Amino acid sequence: MSTNVVAGVMNYLADRAQKPVTYMYTPPAGTPPRTGEYAKFPISVHDGRALREQFSLDVHGFLFRTHETTVGNFYDDTEVKSVYYPEIEHLVRATTGASKVLVFDHNVRCAPMAERGENAAREPVRMAHNDYTPKSGPQRVRDLLLNEAEELLTHRFAFINVWRPIRGPVQEAPLAVCDAQSIKPDDYVTMDLIYHDRVGEVYVMNFNPNHRWYYLPRQQRNEVIFIKGYDSDPAKACFTAHSAFDDPTTPPHVQARESIEVRTIAFFAQDR
């Protein structure tokens, strides 16, 4: 096998007989917090660094870029919101040509910190998924922007997440992204996210051996990944499956992955 490809495994939905559901709070007694049967499937993950200039957010659904940040502490919410949010707003606008970018949320991930309950960290997600569906994308705009939403929804908009290591290089649980061109409509399966007051939707993925996965081996702090989760223009890549995976080239006892993902909406002046 080429040294530019690693043989990994990816968690995919294994049984479509039962609709997958995840509770975002502790459910009533006797109700499982998550339904859906998943299994590991073999995948090939390509080194995307040498190919980075060939990728297009509107064709492949993701981009690899270099971006320097002035943030000193990514676990300080105040610093992230006051310094990093404006940096990412500028980066997404400059990269996409959007007329307006809203940075509305972020999360940090580190498995040991999540286990200890530190820094509001979560564990890396180890399941092929996409963060929005045709229903939940527009609904999220309405939830966030209220009175502006209906006007904004008459023009093109896209949800774009920006992912980076807090510390590099990432060797444990690196992020892999799937070429949107290699995903068929039937590969997407809607999963309900049940909150106390609403029901949201994301996509989980059926396995397809034609899926083309990419990552940045030993990704550094100044390397970011753009992930498109939704696009209102059906002529462009709309969704991008992504997930952490185990890189078989990773040596034992490496530093746990620490990462931050910022969620944005890019609004465009032209119609959908």
The 10s digit of each residue's pLDDT in 33-73 is: 999 999 999 999 999 998 999 999 999 999 999 999 999 99
Higher-pLDDT residue of 4, 182: 182
CA atoms within 13 A on the CB side of 176: 28
- Domain containing 267 equals 5-271
Task: Quote the pLDDT of residue 170.
Answer: 97
Instruction: For residue 169, say if its preceding peptide bond is cis, omega within 30 degrees of 0.
Output: yes
Higher-pLDDT residue of 51, 272: 51
Pairing of strands 223-231, 242-244: unpaired
CB count within 10 Å of CB 56 equals 13
Task: Quote the pLDDT of residue 266.
Answer: 98
Does the structure show a pLDDT above 60 at 1? no
- CATH number for position 71: 2.60.120
Quick one: DSSP state of residue 219?
B
Lowest mean pLDDT among 26-40, 104-118, 168-182: 26-40
| Percentage of residues in the chain having pLDDT higher than 70 | 98
For Cα atoms 16, 21, 25, give the angle at the middle one, nearest 5 degrees.
165
Give the span between the Cα atoms of 57 and 194, in whole angstroms. Answer: 30
**Res. 198 pLDDT band, cuts 50 70 90:** confident
Residue 49 contacts residue 62 (beta carbons within 8 Å)? no
**Res. 271 pLDDT band, cuts 50 70 90:** low
For residues 197-207, average pLDDT = 94
Does the structure show a pLDDT above 60 at 272? no
Does the structure show a pLDDT above 50 at 2? no
Chain segment 137-167, per-residue pLDDT in tens: 999 999 999 999 999 999 999 999 999 999 9
Number of domains in the chain: 1
Chain segment 214-268, per-residue pLDDT in tens: 999 999 999 999 999 999 999 999 999 999 999 999 999 999 999 999 999 999 9
Give the span between the Cα atoms of 160 and 65, in whole angstroms. Answer: 14
**Average confidence score pLDDT of the chain:** 95
